[in-house]
Structure formats: C-alpha cells, structure tokens
Amino acid sequence: MAKTWHYGLVARWWSEFNLDGPEISYFKKAIQQHGVPALDVGCGTGRILVPCLEAGIDIHGTDISSEMIDYCQAKLDSKNLKTKLYVTPTHELDLDCEYKTIISCGVFGIGTTREEDLEGLKRLKKHLILGGKFVFDFYLPSKNSNAWKWSEEHQPNLPSKWSKPDRRDLPDGTSLSLKTRILEFNPIDQYYIREILAEQHEDKVLAGTEQRQIRLNIYLKDEVELMLQSVGFSEVKIFSGVYEGYPFPSVDYLMIEASL
C-alpha cells in the first residue's frame, strides 16, 4: 500500500517553504501548450497548482496526503481561488472527469511499489482525453550516489549517517528542521528506504519531533518508456529535465511527455 511521509511537521514544512522552482513555469507552459482541463497529480500544498490557477488555467489537484490537500485548500481560500481537490493515491485514481493535460512533479516511484506505479500509469491514461498529454518527471540513479555503488567490494553501511539538518524560521518564532538518512538499499529490486526526522522548536526549545519512512523506487530511462508503452501511450518523449534537450550521460533528472 502506498505510504508517504508528507504529514504533520513535514506537511507544514512543504506548505511554508516548498514554494518555488523552475518546474512551476515548465509545467504551466506544458498545460498552456497541450490544453485544458488539466490535472495536477500529487499537487501537495499547491506549489504548481496555485500559480496555474492564478494564471487562469483550468486545473484540478490530487494528493495522497489529506493534510497536504488541507494546506492547499487554505492557500486557495486565502487567494479566493476555486478548484476541485481530491485525496487519492495515483493507483486508485477514479475521478468523474477527463483531462487534456495531466502533470505530475516529484511523484512517480515515491512511496509506492512497482506494481502500484504501473497501475498508476494505467489510471492516468484512462483519465486522459484522446490526444491528451501526460507530463511528469523522475530521477535516475545518480552516478554520485554511494547507495548505488553496490558490489562485493563496496556495500553501503546502513543506516547511513543523518544529513545535516535543514533548519528554517517562521515569523511566529517557530522553527522547523528536517534531516534524512537511508535505512535500506535493494539493488536487485531497485528501491531504497529513506527516513526523515522533523523537529519543531519554539523559542529555541524543542517542542515536537516526528520520524517517518518512505520507499523510493529506482527506474532507468528505458524502463519508464516501456511501462508507458505497455499501458497504451502511443508516443513517449524524454527530455533532460526542464531544459528539453535529449538526455545525455551526466543527466540524472528527466522530464517525460507521453501522448495518447
């Protein structure tokens, strides 16, 4: 069953601090090019959805986390924006609407099994109008990742050390911090388990702590292309992230455009 860590303090962090990035303009442009209505799958707290609505784009949103959707709705209310939001994992997507463009940023292979990822692609295809586009991103295993360098001579020492805490302050005197580590790495089944530790400080005093885990599936470019073709997408284009160039060996962030 799909499981994510975007609840509690982590959801609040996303709402407060995950606000910008080049993906916003990329996906907005994709929708404007391919048409509406549009659907933002894994919309989270509205990082891409809200700017699209502000630009007059007809777009709905889904997310597996009800708390992320609550934060997103609060942002819509504060800006007098209206749209439909749904709480559902992608592999259970069953909406009463079809879309010309479906976008998904930072979602594919996250918190799911490989079977759920494949089922998710089937569900997304069913929600596309004939001729529609599904545009999404994912990361390749990085050549700089110690976890990926697996051999008899080199096996990762797990759990790994905690990352350096990312601590940020809020106007009310509260501060939030996140740090992560890898708990498990499976090179045969191509996934790893990452753990997150979120802390909340009030006036520099620890007021709360939460610890959650998430599974991250590892895919190669050809795997994803074959998965899309196997569920019925007729054309698949793969680009080097938001730059739209053909992937080259040093790139580990890809953008996919799949067409019916």
Is 3 a member of any domain?
Answer: no
Q: Which domain holds residue 135?
A: 8-140+219-259
The total of structural domains in the chain comes to 2
Is 98 a member of any domain?
Answer: yes
Same domain, 201 and 157: yes
Residue whose entry in the numeric block shows the structure tokens 């609505």: 53
Same domain, 55 and 72: yes
Neighbouring residues of 160: CB distance < 8 A, sequence distance ≥ 6: 146, 147, 181, 182
Is 230 a member of any domain?
Answer: yes
Same domain, 133 and 255: yes
Give the pLDDT confidence of 65-114 residue by residue, as tens digits: 999 999 999 999 999 999 999 999 999 999 999 999 999 999 999 999 99
* pLDDT at residue 113, rounded to an integer: 96
Same domain, 132 and 155: no
Same domain, 65 and 17: yes
Quote the pTM value.
Answer: 0.94
Q: How many CB atoms lie within 10 A of CB 36?
A: 15
Same domain, 110 and 164: no
CATH number at residue 236: 3.40.50.150
Radius of gyration of the chain (CA): 19
pLDDT band of residue 1 (cuts 50, 70, 90) is low
Whether 150 shows a pLDDT value over 70: the answer reads no
